[in-house]
Amino acid sequence: MKRDIPKIGRSFPRSDAESKVRGEEKYAADYYGPDLLWAGVKRAGLPHGLIRKIDCSAAERVPGVVKVLTAADVPGANRHGIVHKDMPVLADDKARHAGDGVALVIAETKESLRLALECVSLDIQSLPGVFDPEAALASGAPLIHEGREQGNLLSTAVVQSGDGADGLDRCPVVVEGSFEVPMQAHAFLETENGIAWRTEGGEIVMIASTQAPFRDRLEIQHALGIPLDRIRMIAPYLGGGFGGKDGVTVQCLLALAALHSGGRPVKMHWDREESFLAGYKRHATKMYYALGADSDGSFRALRCRLYYDTGPYAHLGAEIMAMGLEHAAGPYRIPNIFCEGFCVYTNNPVAGAMRAFGVVQPAFGIERMVDLLAEKLSMDPLSLRLKNALKPGNTHGTGVPVHPSTGIVQCLETVEAHPLWKARKEWTKESPPFTKRGVGVAAVFHAMGYGRNVPDFATAKIELTREGGFRIYSGVSDMGQGNASTCVQIAGDILGQPAANFELIQPDTSRTLYSGSSAASRTTYTYGNALALACKDLRRRLYNRAALLLFLTQTKDLRMKPGKVLHAPSGREVPLSRLAGLMRDEEHTYIADYWAKTFEGEPVTGKGIPFGYPHLLFSYGAHLAYVEVDVLTGRVRVPSYLAVTDAGRVLNPQIYEQQVQGAVAQGLGYALLEELIAEDGKILTPDLRKYLIPGAMDVPDLLCVAVEVGGERSPLGMKGLGEIGSCGPLPAVANAVASALGVTLNRAPLSPQRILDAIERKEKANR
Amino acid sequence: MKRDIPKIGRSFPRSDAESKVRGEEKYAADYYGPDLLWAGVKRAGLPHGLIRKIDCSAAERVPGVVKVLTAADVPGANRHGIVHKDMPVLADDKARHAGDGVALVIAETKESLRLALECVSLDIQSLPGVFDPEAALASGAPLIHEGREQGNLLSTAVVQSGDGADGLDRCPVVVEGSFEVPMQAHAFLETENGIAWRTEGGEIVMIASTQAPFRDRLEIQHALGIPLDRIRMIAPYLGGGFGGKDGVTVQCLLALAALHSGGRPVKMHWDREESFLAGYKRHATKMYYALGADSDGSFRALRCRLYYDTGPYAHLGAEIMAMGLEHAAGPYRIPNIFCEGFCVYTNNPVAGAMRAFGVVQPAFGIERMVDLLAEKLSMDPLSLRLKNALKPGNTHGTGVPVHPSTGIVQCLETVEAHPLWKARKEWTKESPPFTKRGVGVAAVFHAMGYGRNVPDFATAKIELTREGGFRIYSGVSDMGQGNASTCVQIAGDILGQPAANFELIQPDTSRTLYSGSSAASRTTYTYGNALALACKDLRRRLYNRAALLLFLTQTKDLRMKPGKVLHAPSGREVPLSRLAGLMRDEEHTYIADYWAKTFEGEPVTGKGIPFGYPHLLFSYGAHLAYVEVDVLTGRVRVPSYLAVTDAGRVLNPQIYEQQVQGAVAQGLGYALLEELIAEDGKILTPDLRKYLIPGAMDVPDLLCVAVEVGGERSPLGMKGLGEIGSCGPLPAVANAVASALGVTLNRAPLSPQRILDAIERKEKANR
């Protein structure tokens, strides 16, 4: 088994599986150090208030306390943020949400730390808060950030094509609806944490659970004024990320602590409550939709308005909202659209990146609209989708040309041909007592990469070791999605080596090279393509050197074999260890760059969006959900689920399936269970007892089918897969429940209470 | 001037000119060291003999003598040789030529060394010698190497195509002739020398005047048993090489001395007499030709027999003879050929590589044959050549397909159109008293590269320095031909930097990478193409990094400018020093390989030749010589000379012209003056007082015209230039003299005595 050569396109056991199962793989949380100190944050505790005084004297007297620091001790700008730098390391003037940090304590033990945090005494004058994005835009709303011309509006944008909203006036059929989705927590197994220390040479070294170690350095540099070359970030495997570790969490705090720990390592590890309180969330969003069509069902016009609640800090809110706008029209041809988006500051917890970055929300809106239209026209919802689905040669609803690799039609046709689809009517007819069955579909799409005007770039490095093995230097974190293993697979295929012949170096700003963040479904695409180039370069060099040793004048008959290069016609071979011994150190390594393809030129729509709009490459999916609703309890069960996905070439069917299954499971959680509730800024679901995520028993056997549409001409031929699967469950389940009950459901999750309320509303209306 | 960006294709002042003129550039001969010791060789002094005793005791007693070593002290195989390892470092059993080294003396001063060498007492029993290659093949000839089945025959080969020699029988016109050319000395300014020491770590470091530093290590390893990784060779600019520094000269001797010098540097520098005695020579060659044609002048058949005298050791004799065979039929279509070659051991000085490696000799033979045929058919010799010249689509006389880059027709047509050709009849008519004027042409060709079955490979390295400049690591020596400067030009063009922004590291086995030898007209082609690839790779990386800094998503609008990268549309720029600071050390360097194209597949002719036959790429030339013969003194003057050359794309017209002029000057020397005479193995022309080379006054203004024939599809588009110019002068001058005097001249050089003899022979015949 260990001698098997991985092949791109075939299943290959994850190279990290065994070490993780054995507990040998170290996550950031597993790192301790000699003379370890612990750091923790005192948080504001109220959603909006003027900080008048922070009294640390009692805390400083707690035995074992090394240092208590406040904003006054932050040596740099005391602000971070990926695009908009508006989030303080430690709040200075104001607290803007309950999780704002106000003091940092360093202590010898966790117990001293806990006591000292309790002893930090805060004098914060409460201010009126605002907790709804539309309310925050109203005149007279409390201002989260003073002095901004735009008030609480972080950003607004419009995507307009054709005649825009006027198109609706000429549509014989129009449906309308408003939708609302809540905050979602990433709920990773490994909460935010890290460990940091200052070396004798003055370098800050940090091991953290992070999706963007290279960018973290820039954030620390800005917030604390530490020069970039004095910061080393190391990112081991993550116990989950999902976007929640894209912006900095513990990083600036730990760097600050390391400046005051006398060279001792300092560890910070948020527990679940702190993670829910202070970590990032999926944006709660309110949406207003109107979709118009011809009487034959051809989509003609779309109008929508999206309000994203970013909490008190920007994180990537403006970009997430723009991404939502780009996807608001779904994977359809719609000649006239007018979509407006608003990203708004409130005193809710901070929202940020989460899997399917702003797209999950409008996928719910547009896909419900399509089902409502199908109902109104008495059309089959799948046929209606197929009729309007994008094909190469079309333009997106946004007016942007469709890439040749667009496979939504093939996805929908695959659903149509699937036994689950064919059996749907039989199945729904046979509902057990007090149960209603329904079937729903959703067509979704998701962009890959950072989008227009954002450099989307990776640098891969591969090294032949002295012993004749290989070392891969990964520039992008593996959050658990399996990109590290896919690196081994790519390199193994190209270099003809079994997985055991590779060592994989996880991101480390001192050892691996800048490759952007582990985000935007870009990781395997951008880094993987760079790695493929580097491996081909190194293979060419190994062939060249072997040819010299074998006194050959060409390399075409050479083949990579485990541990050696073989000259096929003669059977002569050169061990890689021998080549390694003869090659100079500098020849052992190849470094290759890869630019992800981006949309070039000016888009004719959405002109005001500076970054990330539009994208060039999208993955597509068609999801089919079977649901059973218990009409007595309101509980929704999903006994069968089919996810058909076009993400280009499948590199590893096993990981492909795992990615889709994981995303669907998380999407089913958002559809049915997950809702981070904050009432007046106070979180009512502070931990996993109250914030429910699906367990193994809640998730059906998920059927995953890949549609490998060609047209993506990168070395690997694949597209992004990490996020597309999240977009389908909420609309597919909502459509299924709506068809089962004949009700309209505009709010996620479809909790038992909401189901019962809907049934009651319907019954009242029927009375 | 210093800010000028070199451009490929334009003249560019040699980057090494100023430092050489100022005396700042250090040749190997310029290196001395602290506590320097001197080493020298006691030589056999007689051409063939059994070594009975070497008495070093008197020498060891000379004050200042550190060590006297003999063959018994050589720790390895005590043999070297590029292909055939038959040449001793210090002779053990026999002396095979007068220059064989028998003892190595190390002394504190040159004077002690001289005295001690005189004191080494030799008891060598003289053996009968053999000094002519044909005599050496006769049965009963003294054997140079005992126990060889082939006796004195080093190698023999046949190139046969069509009906072979039988083709002559069916030719209406046949001409025959036999030719003889002597040994030629390389006569470089800087004779063979080097300096070596052993480091504390046990490494042997050597700075030597060498064309093949990487191969030297293999020779030292074999001869002395020193591991490869304990030998470091450094090759500064050479004061001339011409092939004479391709095999090892002082290297093994110096490495041996360094083993016994207690870590002190040891220097060895052959003076001119030692260089003539012990250095390599161009092979003296005897040739027998018959050329048959149709009555319209179409060449039909060729028979030739070539005898190369390799002296007592092989060096590259077998390969040189094979190269001669490949060129024996000239740049013509000849459907039937039979060419036999013999490379033979004698007790003459050792022959080896010299500019135009075995080709100068048959160029004399075949080109005289063509003129004899023209005379017999009363045809114009240029028209006859044009009629038979090779064109793409033909096969060579050897039966091998002609490459698309073949430009001999264009060369000949350029001569035909030249004013010198048009004025030739007027000019010859106006001979002054006692003077005969004549005009001769020659069509020549010369292969580039190592040829079939020999890996012909270079690895170039380019580095961005911390300061934003560049460092080129050259793997191939610069003998003075200007390839180092051309490297700066290539890199300067691609990287957009003036010459002042480059540092060029000369070959050093610890710093630069294996790139083969500086030989075979391959240096700029093979290394230069590798360098072009490396520079393009590095430029791409710099563009990528600059794009990231400038937040661009593509690099197409970036341009290299002196010291910076410019974004043309916006005018924004990134200094290279800033990029260098941001890039990690390992990213500063690019290493690229290049394989010279070689003939692939089995040739249908010359099958028995294991290496180097046939070649794929050839350069071509058509030379025109005006001569004036003083019939009273026999002195030949060359007042005008035209060399038209097809060597593909001209990278630098100035160096191009210098290379052709230098080669023609050396060729004129061989035509008129140069003859290393050894009588019974004793050199009668031991120094430059008796061995004459052309001075500046002997060389006319040489007209050089380039014909840039396309078809060579390497990155640089050029072909080899270093040797082709040497091939034309002897046949062109001989043809001119023959036409001036109406005599036949079969022996080079055309010395005054030989001219007078020829005139006398003709007068006798006319009486």
Q: What is the DSSP string of A561-630?
A: ETTEEEETTTTEEEEHHHHHHHS-GGGSEEEEEEEPP---S--SS-TT--SS-S-S-EEEEEEEEEEEEE
Per residue, what are the HEC states of B384-447?
HHHHHECCCCCECCCCCECCCCCCHHHHHHHHHHCHHHHCHHHHHHCCCCCEEEEEEEEEEEEE
For residue B248, what are the contacts with CB-CB under 8 A and spacing of at least 6?
Answer: B80, B210, B216, B219, B220
**Which residue of chain A is at minimal alpha-carbon distance from B549?**
A455
Over range B406-412, report the average pLDDT.
98
Chain A residues touching B600 at Cβ < 8 A: 553-554
Beta-carbon count within 10 A of B128 CB: 9
Of B453, B456, B553, the CB nearest to A454: B553
Contact B750, B758 (CB under 8 A): no
pTM of the model: 0.95
Instruction: Give me the percent of chain B exceeding a pLDDT of 70.
Output: 100
Alpha-carbon distance of A322 to A421, in angstroms, equals 34
- ipTM entry: 0.93
What's the pLDDT at B3? 57
Neighbour-count burial for B294-327, b at 16+ CB within 10 Å, e otherwise? eeebebbbbbbbbbbbbbbbbbbbbbbbbbbbbb
What is the DSSP secondary-structure string of B289-315? Answer: EEEEE-TTS-EEEEEEEEEEEEETS-T
Q: Which residues is A594 bridged to in the sheet?
A: A458
What's the Cα-to-Cα distance from A455 to each of A526, B537, B572, rounded to whole Å?
Answer: 11, 19, 17
Residue carrying structure tokens 């729509």: A605
| Three-class DSSP category at A643 | strand
CA B123 to chain centre: 37
C-alpha–C-alpha distance, residues A433 and A449, integer Å: 48
- Chain A residues whose CB is inside 8 A of the B547 CB are 455, 457
Contact B303, B168 (CB under 8 A): yes
Intra-chain end-to-end CA distance of chain B, in Å: 67
By residue count, chain B amounts to 767
Give B524's DSSP letter.
I
- Would the CA dihedral through B461, B462, B465, B469 be positive or negative? positive
Instruction: Give which of A553, A567, A583 to mutate to test B binding, by max B Cβ within 10 Å.
Output: A553
Angle at B669 between CA B665 and CA B672, to 5 degrees: 130
C-alpha span between A264 and A267 (Å, rounded): 10
DSSP symbol at A550: T
pLDDT (tens digit per residue) in B206-229? 999 999 999 999 999 999 999 999
- Chain B residues with beta carbon closer than 8 angstroms to that of A589: 586
| Rounded CA separation A330/A302 (Å) | 10
Question: Measured between beta carbons, which residues in chain A are less than 8 angstroms from residue B595?
Answer: 544, 553-555
* Token pair listed for A741: 């009950």
Higher pLDDT, B494 or B611: B494
Cβ atoms within 10 Å, residue B577:
16
- For residue range B94-123, list pLDDT tens digits in order: 999 999 999 999 999 999 999 999 999 999
Query: A455 to chain B nearest CA, in Å?
Result: 4
Whole-number pLDDT of residue A588 = 97
Q: For the residues B382-388, what does the mean pLDDT come to? A: 98
Interface contact B586-A455, CB threshold 8 A: no
Closest CA to A532 of A480, A563, A486, A573: A486
pLDDT at residue B385 above 90?
A: yes
Beta partners for residue B574, in sequence order: B565
DSSP string, A194-234: EEEEE-TTS-EEEEE--S-HHHHHHHHHHHH---GGGEEEE
Chain A residue numbers with beta carbons less than 8 Å from the beta carbon of B591 are 541, 586-587
Residues in CB range of B597: below 8 A, 6 or more apart = B449, B616, B617, B714
Cross-chain residue pair A554–B452, CB shorter than 8 Å: no
Burial track A501-523 (b if 16+ CB lie within 10 A, e otherwise): bbebbbbbbebbbbbbbbbbbbb
Distance from CA of B553 to the nearest CA of A (A): 4
At B308, the amino acid letter reads Y
Alpha helices in A459-561 (DSSP H): 483-495, 528-549
Contact (CB, 8 A) for A577 and A466? yes
Whether A598 sits inside 8 A of B554 (CB atoms) is: yes
Q: Are A127 and A112 in contact (CB under 8 A)?
A: no
- For every residue of A727-746, DSSP letters joined together read HSHHHHHHHHHHHHHT----
Alpha carbon distances (Å) from A475 to A24, A163, A530, A634, B502: 22, 45, 10, 47, 32
The rounded distance, in Å, linking the Cα atoms of A277 and A677 is 11
In this prediction, residue B606 has a pLDDT band, given cuts at 50, 70 and 90, of confident
Q: Under an 8 A CB cutoff, do B457 and A548 touch? A: yes
Nearest to A110 by CA among A269, A324, A287: A269
Can you say how many angstroms the Cα of residue B520 is from the centroid of all Cα atoms in its chain? 6
**How far from A428 is each of A163, A668, A739, CA to CA, in Å?**
41, 20, 10
Contact B554 A595 (CB under 8 A): yes
Distance from CA of A204 to the nearest CA of B (A): 18
Question: In this structure, which amino acid lies at residue A408?
Answer: I
Report the alpha-carbon distance of residue B687 to residue B693 in Å, rounded: 11
pLDDT at position A392: 94
Q: Which of B124, B116, B119 is nearest to B40 (CA)?
A: B116
Q: Which two tokens stand for residue B233?
A: 């060779």
Q: How far is CA A254 from the centre of its chain?
A: 24
Q: How would you class B149 by CB atoms within 10 Å of its CB: exposed for 0-12, middle for 13-18, buried for 19 or more?
A: exposed
> Which site among A593, A598, A599 would you substitute to test the B interface, given the most B Cβ atoms closer than 10 Å to its Cβ?
A593
CB contact under 8 A, B584 and A513: yes
Helix and strand numbers, DSSP H then E, in chain A? 20, 32
Rounded Cα distance between A76 and A126, Å, is: 27
CB within 8 Å: B454 and A553: yes
Cβ neighbours of residue A23 under 8 Å, at least 6 residues apart?
none
Judged by phi (left if over 0) then psi (alpha if -120 to 50, else beta), residue B200 lies in: alpha
Cβ separation B553–A598 shorter than 8 A = yes
Summarised one tens digit per residue, pLDDT across range A53-71 is: 999 999 999 999 999 999 9
Fill in the DSSP letter of residue B30: G
Q: What are residue A311's phi and psi, to 5 degrees?
A: 70, -160
CB-defined contacts A:B, below 8 A? 71
Q: Which candidate, A182, A269, A267, A327, places its Cα nearest to that of A619?
A: A327
Give the span between the Cα atoms of B567 and B569, in whole angstroms. Answer: 6
Q: Do A453 and B553 touch (CB under 8 A)?
A: yes
Q: Cβ distance B438 to B741 under 8 Å?
A: yes
Q: Write out pLDDT tens, residues B429-443.
A: 999 999 999 999 999
Torsion angles phi and psi, residue B195, rounded to 5: -140, 140
Residue closest to B691 by CA, chosen among B640, B751, B638, B605: B751
CB contact under 8 A, B598 and A548: no
Among B511, B553, B583, B616, most A C-beta atoms within 10 A, so best to mutate, is: B553
Below-50 pLDDT ranges, chain A: 1-2
Phi-psi region of B333 (alpha: psi -120 to 50; beta: other; left: phi over 0): beta
Q: What digits encode the pLDDT tens for the residues B671-702?
A: 999 999 999 999 999 999 999 999 999 999 99
The predicted pLDDT at position A1 comes to 42
Strand extents, DSSP E, B426-532 = 435-447, 457-464, 470-473, 502-505
Which of B123, B126, B122, B118 has its CA nearest to residue B46? B126
CB B523 within 8 A of CB B242: no
Band the pLDDT of B1: cuts 50, 70, 90: very low
Q: Which residue of B has its CA nearest to A612?
A: B553
pLDDT, average across residues B537-558: 96
